[in-house]
Amino acid sequence: MLLGAIEAGGTKIICGIGDEKGKLIEKIHFPTLSPKETMPKIIEYFKGKDIVALGIGTFGPIDVNKTSKTYGYILDTPKAGWSNYPFLDTIQKSINVPTVIDTDVNGAALGESMWGIAKDNESCLYITIGTGIGAGFCSNGTLLHGLLHPEMGHILLRKHKDDTYNGRCPFHGDCLEGLASGPAIEERFNEKAYNLDKGHIAWEIEAYYIAQALINYTMILSPHKIILGGGVMKQKQLFPLIHKYFIQMMNGYINKPVLNENIADYIVYPGLGDHSGTYGSLALATLALKE
């Protein structure tokens, strides 16, 4: 049984074919250009593939309300040409199979819960920290939606005592994304994050903000596991720093071993590595199959 997966990122599109057991058989990728240039390539890829369901994990914001007239639309986005674009409708006019669309991070959370590092957990929170910051939450196979979908990259934080940077978010300034995204690190220190020495103060500041956000998410969502992906988290020296600050900030309030001596098993790198988003889209296709 073949399933289709579309991971639509702000810079590139990944299309793939897999099965309901999480085996990815093939995939291709190409740049995310305008819808007029991009959508025909997606549709052409799936011609003759004999898929029975399709999952789409996309950049947002998107309308995930299935009763809405604009369900499956990309909403207001800085990505040129994509605002108010009927992504799902355009796909379904050419690929007539059951399809589920959600955020790329919600998809990644589902993928990690089905086939990745959280497969033995009842719930998980997946966070990507890169060009932007986004998060998805999965509990017993159900993804979190509300008025919209989670926008956890825009929570407000206390500033680090040594940080004079004002933040780069055009809406909130010093929210999590404004302070801790890859471009924020680069703008603050006038250097690409991956070029900074492992002992640079940047990583203490970054860990402080990430840990602070994780405290908030833990208090609100109480996930069984937190997964940190994205380009910034490839700096593996961040994990012990985040663990340190998390324990300090929690200050024994929740008396669980996994939040103290076993913290390295709670805040972790993705089990599916760089492919969490693609497997996440495949996981969304399994939901479409069930529906």
The pair of three-digit structure tokens given for residue 116, joined into one six-digit string: 């990745």
pLDDT tens track for 105-154: 999 999 999 999 999 999 999 999 999 999 999 999 999 998 889 999 99
Report the 3 state secondary structure along 200-233: CHHHHHHHHHHHHHHHHHHHHHCCCCEEEECHHH
Supply the pTM of this predicted model: 0.95
Calpha distance 260→125 (Å, rounded): 18
Long-range contacts: 251-256, Cβ < 8 Å, 24+? 254/218
Q: Are 280 and 24 in contact, with CB atoms under 8 Å apart? A: no
User: Hey, what domains does the chain have and what are their CATH numbers?
Assistant: 3-104 (3.30.420.40), 117-270 (3.30.420.40)
Query: pLDDT at residue 8 above 90?
Result: yes
pLDDT at 147: 86
**CA 160 and chain centroid, separation:** 25
Q: Are 109 and 137 in contact, with CB atoms under 8 Å apart? A: yes
Query: pLDDT at residue 78 above 90?
Result: no
pLDDT at 203: 98
> Within a 10 A sphere around the Cβ of 132, how many other Cβ atoms?
19
Question: Taking all residues of the chain, what is their mean pLDDT, rounded to a whole number?
Answer: 96
pLDDT at 291: 82
Write down the residue that tokens 């720093």 correspond to: 241
The pair of three-digit structure tokens given for residue 198, joined into one six-digit string: 């492992």
Among 269, 290, 272, smallest CA distance to 280 is for 272
Q: Are 211 and 242 in contact, with CB atoms under 8 Å apart? A: yes
The pair of three-digit structure tokens given for residue 84, joined into one six-digit string: 């108010």
Cis amide linkage into residue 257, ω under 30° from 0: no
- Residues in Cβ contact with 242 at an 8 Å cutoff, skipping those fewer than 6 apart: 207, 210, 211, 214, 228, 267
**If residue 36 lies in a helix (H) or strand (E), which one and from where to where?**
helix 35-46
What is the pLDDT confidence band of residue 29, given thresholds at 50, 70 and 90?
A: very high
Among 170, 113, 111, 260, smallest CA distance to 184 is for 170
- Residues in Cβ contact with 173 at an 8 Å cutoff, skipping those fewer than 6 apart: 166, 167
pLDDT at 255: 92
- How does strand 133-139 pair with strand 142-143? antiparallel
